[in-house]
């Protein structure tokens, strides 16, 4: 696993961990990964805990791989925008404080 990316078991492409677990997977069954890999083997390969696997299954149930990818992109963009707003709010507060001290 390199920087949050792994080899997707079903399609032979590099994708995020969450996407690899659910690319074509039977999301409701006892097996995951879409390749008939038992859960214990899958979590060992990916390097996550069983709790994480079931949390991801709950979070991404019913989504296709491209939808998971789009969701993660939107979450990343949202986090970036929140940081930007926080920085700008801090800058605004500092400028208002400096202006009020001058007057």
Length of the chain: 103
CA separation for the pair 23, 25 (Å, rounded): 5
Return the closest-CA partner of residue 27 out of 12, 18, 66: 18
Q: What is the pTM of this model?
A: 0.52
pLDDT in tens, 10-67: 454 555 666 666 554 434 443 445 567 788 888 888 888 889 888 988 888 888 888 9
Instruction: Quick: pLDDT tens for 45-55.
Output: 888 888 988 89
Report d(CA 70, CA 16) in Å as an integer.
12
| Domain range enclosing 20 | 5-102
Q: Which of 13-22, 81-90, 91-100 has the lowest mean pLDDT?
A: 13-22
With both helix axes pointing from N to C terminus, report the angle between 50-60 and 39-46 in degrees, rounded to the nearest 10.
100
- Total tally of structural domains belonging to the chain: 1
């Amino acid at each position: 696993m390199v920087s949050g990316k792994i080899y997707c078991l079903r399609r032979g492409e590099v994708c995020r961990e969450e996407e690899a677990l659910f690319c074509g997977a039977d999301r409701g069954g006892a097996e995951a990964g879409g390749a008939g890999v038992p859960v214990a083997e899958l979590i060992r390969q990916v390097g996550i805990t069983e709790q994480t696997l079931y949390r991801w299954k709950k979070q991404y149930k019913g989504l296709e791989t491209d939808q998971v990818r789009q969701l993660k992109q939107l979450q990343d963009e949202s986090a970036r925008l929140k940081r930007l707003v926080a920085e700008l709010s801090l800058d605004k507060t500092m400028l208002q404080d400096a202006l009020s001290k001058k007057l």
